[in-house]
A and B are shown apart, each in its own frame.
Chain A
């Protein structure tokens, strides 16, 4: 699944570790989400969207 997490994180000037601390997940989990190797659960996806002030569908694109 494509996502804009890396783009928004960099826009806020946060490292993966800092974003992980804000979301209460590990840096490795942020890395796995950004590289598309792991799709977050719905609660975590909502948490990410809320943190960036975005709608979940603008952050994550399930593709075809």
Chain B
């Protein structure tokens, strides 16, 4: 199977992010006014559909990558998971000890934090192995 070009991958991700933003601003606010429980559930989780598509695209990209690229993806993913997982654990203990009173909406930041740390780690790794600062090819 042909390798996934960075340009094509970025174009798909950008299109899905536009859909995500549109859902957040246009569809998600309708949740509170919806009467049916099922309709409320559908509206509430609708922004996760484009995000799930991005995750599937990323998985496909990693599977079609060469061995060095796969190593960089996996190290970056490991670092991001370790940091976000540890931060989540700390936040959980603080919440259980009533030191931090959150309402659960903070969880919405877990996935973006994971993506951000993954991206920066991969950028640093790419710099180390190839000597280039290629953000969009990251």
Contacts and interface: CB of A to CB of B under 8 A. Distances in A.
B131 A29 contact: no
Nearest to B71: A38
Interface in A8-30: 24-26, 28-29
B53 to A, nearest CB: 24
Interface residues of B, number: 12
Residues of A contacting B: mostly: loop
Contacts of B132: 28
Contacts, number: 34
B130 A32 contact: yes
A44 interface: yes
Interface residues of A, number: 13
A31 B67 contact: no
Contacts of B69: 26, 28-29
A28 B69 CA distance: 9
A54 interface: no
B136 interface: no
B128 A24 contact: no
Contact of A40 (B67, B126, B128, B130): B67
A44 B131 contact: no
B68 A32 contact: yes
Nearest to A39: B68
A26 B68 contact: yes
B111 interface: no
A28 B3 contact: no
B131 A31 contact: yes
26 contacts: A24-B3, A24-B66, A25-B66, A25-B67, A25-B68, A26-B3, A26-B66, A26-B68, A28-B68, A28-B126, A28-B129, A28-B132, A29-B66, A29-B67, A29-B68, A29-B69, A31-B131, A32-B129, A32-B130, A35-B131, A37-B128, A37-B129, A37-B130, A38-B129, A40-B67, A44-B67
